[in-house]
């Protein structure tokens, strides 16, 4: 069962408010970083609450990769595979965190994992953005997105350090 018992309505509302103010419009500069930051803060807040409830943390542990069961569905296509490959193999190709976040929003990878995962795991809440926070799968998927972003930030920090070192050596 992927549904989190007694999930607070205030947290559902917080997530819904963010998405309602960002849905059904074009993605603009700043939207990607907003998506990543909001979800990182939301994950932290909910996982603190979840731990306080004494619930099994393993059920909300981030995926280390997109599950093969999701990728084995007929809905998994070459575009989704290309999007995943960019996140996994070419993370450094993004010019900024904002670009990374906008890519997740516009490549359909984010939404597709919600929909396909919902089908694979028989969890209708995960497939509906406004209900997905009460699904354990939400934290597994958004935890993976946050891992990718954190890895990107580490890569970028490493590049910045090398650039500063080269400039100061001149």
Read out DSSP for 18-34? HHHHHSSS---TTHHHH
The reply to whether 2 falls in a domain is: no
pLDDT score for 168: 47
Q: Flag whether 117 is in a domain.
A: yes
Is 170 within the bounds of a domain?
no
| Residue 135 is assigned to a structural domain of this protein | yes
Q: What is the per-residue pLDDT for 164?
A: 47
- pLDDT score at 159: 59
Backbone dihedral angles phi then psi of residue 135, each to the nearest 5 degrees = -105, 135
Q: Is the pLDDT of residue 21 over 90?
A: no
Q: Which residues contact 151 (CB under 8 A, 6 or more apart)?
A: 91
48 inside domain: yes
Q: Helices then strands (H, E): number in the chain?
A: 7, 0
Which residues are CB-contacts of 144 (< 8 A; sequence separation ≥ 6)?
A: 62, 63, 64, 65, 66
Enter the pTM of the model. 0.91
Task: Summarize the confidence of residues 75-94 as an average pLDDT.
Answer: 98
167 domain-assigned: no
> Is 122 a domain residue?
yes
Report the number of distinct structural domains present in the chain: 1
Q: Domain residues for 107?
A: 9-158
User: Which residue, among 41, 3, 35, has the nearest Cα to 103 in the 3D structure?
Assistant: 35
Proportion of the chain above pLDDT 70, given as a percent: 90
Q: Determine contact, residues 32/105, Cβ cutoff 8 Å.
A: yes
């Amino acid at each position: 069962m992927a549904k989190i018992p007694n999930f607070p309505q205030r947290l559902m509302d917080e997530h819904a408010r963010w998405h309602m103010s960002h849905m059904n419009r074009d993605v603009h500069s700043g939207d990607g970083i907003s998506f990543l930051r909001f979800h990182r803060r939301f994950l932290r807040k909910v996982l603190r609450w979840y731990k306080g409830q004494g619930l099994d943390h393993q059920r909300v542990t981030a995926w280390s990769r997109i599950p093969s069961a999701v990728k084995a569905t007929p809905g998994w296509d070459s575009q989704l595979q290309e999007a995943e490959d960019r996140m996994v193999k070419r993370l450094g190709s993004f010019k900024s965190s904002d670009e990374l976040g906008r890519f997740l929003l516009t490549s359909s990878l984010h939404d597709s994992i919600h929909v396909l995962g919902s089908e694979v795991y028989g969890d209708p809440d995960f497939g509906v953005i406004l209900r997905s926070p009460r699904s354990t799968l939400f934290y597994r998927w958004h935890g993976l997105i946050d891992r990718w972003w954190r890895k990107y930030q580490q890569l970028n920090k490493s590049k910045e350090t090398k650039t500063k070192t080269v400039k100061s050596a001149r």
